Amino acid sequence: MLSKPKHRKSIIYTLPVVIILFGLVFLVGKASWNTYGKMQESSERRAQAEAELDDVLSRYDELQKKVDYLETDKGVEEEIRTKFNVAREGEKVFVIVGDEKEIDTTDVERGFFSGLWHKIFK
């Protein structure tokens, strides 16, 4: 009966068994590390998706407010006035016209050949 435990210890501590055990520990560790990396990536993607969702929801709220405003008579009238530049009957419209500035083309930079061409024929 005493020889069985010694025989088991001698099998467990042999080089091939130790190498196999280290190999199993390595494979389990690698699988755990890969799973941890996937968890980190999923966490980052979730945070990005939540940020995009917040942006979409805020845009939706803005558009919903604009739709609600355009459903009123005042909103429709204001939109028509800005888009088509119209006025009601009896209203006066003043158009302010500013001085148009001439564009000086002599200061425009030119390439070597076009500048040379311009100097020769001017």
For residue 122, being part of any structural domain is answered with: no
Structural domain harbouring 85: 12-98
Q: Which tokens belong to 65? A: 């407010």
Confidence of residue 20 (pLDDT cuts 50, 70, 90): very high
Predicted confidence band of residue 5 (pLDDT cuts 50, 70, 90)? low
pLDDT digits (tens, 9 = 90+) for 47-59: 999 999 999 999 9
Rounded Cα distance between 84 and 78, Å, is 10
User: Which string of DSSP letters, residue by residue, matches 74-119?
Assistant: HHHHHHHHHHH----TT-------PPPPPP-GGGS---HHHHHHHH
* 111 in a structural domain: no
What pLDDT was estimated at residue 106? 55
Residue 92 is assigned to a structural domain of this protein: yes
Residues 93 and 87: beta-carbon distance below 8 Å: yes
pLDDT tens-digit profile of 87-97? 888 888 777 88
Task: Tell me if 103 is assigned to some domain.
Answer: no
What was the pLDDT predicted at 92? Answer: 83
Report yes or no on 87 lying in a domain: yes
Cα 24 to Cα 56: distance, rounded to the nearest angstrom: 47
CA atoms of 78 and 70, how far apart (whole Å) = 9
The tally of domains found in the chain comes to 1
Between 12 and 47, name the one with better pLDDT. Answer: 47
pLDDT of residue 33: 95
Domain-embedded: residue 121:
no
pLDDT of residue 28: 96
Residue 77 lies in a domain: yes
**Residue 64 scores a pLDDT above 50:** yes
Here the tokens at position 67 are 């739709």
Domain-located, residue 104: no
